[in-house]
């Protein structure tokens, strides 16, 4: 089904088998929406490439690259990508819905203290180690791209500026051609 332009998303709209429930936020490349996956009966997050970005072939390429980069990583501290969809107007990335706050929201003016700094930084380092082992360099790691759940689990988000090792990218392109 045609979904129209990203900015025209409204609560109740369907994108494939995902029903839009609520807007979660917006970033440099688009908006993030909470949606219900009717096939697997779970809540997901859908990142929608913004109208301005959707018309830019380089941004569309980066958006798809982000989905491919993150989806190739299976790690508890890296966001899980479930699907990527597109229509004539936009691109949609479906990912796990992470409940919690960004590290940016959690860091008080005085910091978070030594114990939490070690807890968070160890998980971030482990996520980056896994990404680097797969030939992926994040390149946009900042507090706003790190979610922390209420239980203290860290999830690294937004691989939109990731640099993928040329050998890895060629392998993925070959796999998509077959």
Bridge partners (DSSP) of residue 49 are 30
Count of other CB atoms within 10 angstroms of residue 95: 21
Alpha carbon distances (Å) from 146 to 25, 103, 169: 14, 6, 25
Spatial neighbors of 35 by CB under 8 A, at least 6 apart, are: 15, 18, 19, 20, 21, 43, 44, 45, 46, 94
**Residues 114/148, Cβ–Cβ less than 8 Å:** no
Q: Is 150 a catalytic residue?
A: yes
Catalytic residue among 83, 150, 158, 178: 150
The kind and range of the H/E element at 101 are strand 101-102
**Residues 131/66, Cβ–Cβ less than 8 Å:** no
**Residues 156/141, Cβ–Cβ less than 8 Å:** yes
Residues with a catalytic annotation lie at: 150
């Amino acid at each position: 089904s045609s979904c129209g332009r990203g900015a025209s998303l409204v609560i109740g709209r369907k994108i494939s088998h995902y029903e839009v429930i609520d807007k979660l936020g917006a970033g440099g490349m688009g908006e993030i929406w909470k949606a219900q996956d009717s096939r697997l009966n779970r809540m997901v997050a859908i990142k929608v490439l913004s109208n301005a970005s959707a018309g830019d072939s380089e941004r569309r390429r980066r958006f798809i690259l982000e989905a491919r980069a993150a989806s190739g990583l299976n790690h508890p501290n890296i966001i899980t990508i479930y699907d990527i969809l597109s229509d004539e107007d936009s691109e949609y990335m479906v990912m796990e819905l992470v409940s919690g706050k960004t590290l940016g929201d959690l860091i008080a003016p005085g910091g978070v203290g030594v114990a939490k700094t070690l807890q968070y930084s160890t998980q971030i380092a482990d996520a980056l180690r896994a990404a680097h082992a797969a030939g992926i360099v994040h390149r946009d790691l900042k507090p706003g791209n790190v979610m922390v759940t209420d239980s203290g689990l860290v999830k690294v988000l937004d691989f939109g500026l990731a640099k993928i090792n040329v050998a890895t990218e060629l392998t993925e392109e070959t796999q998509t051609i077959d």
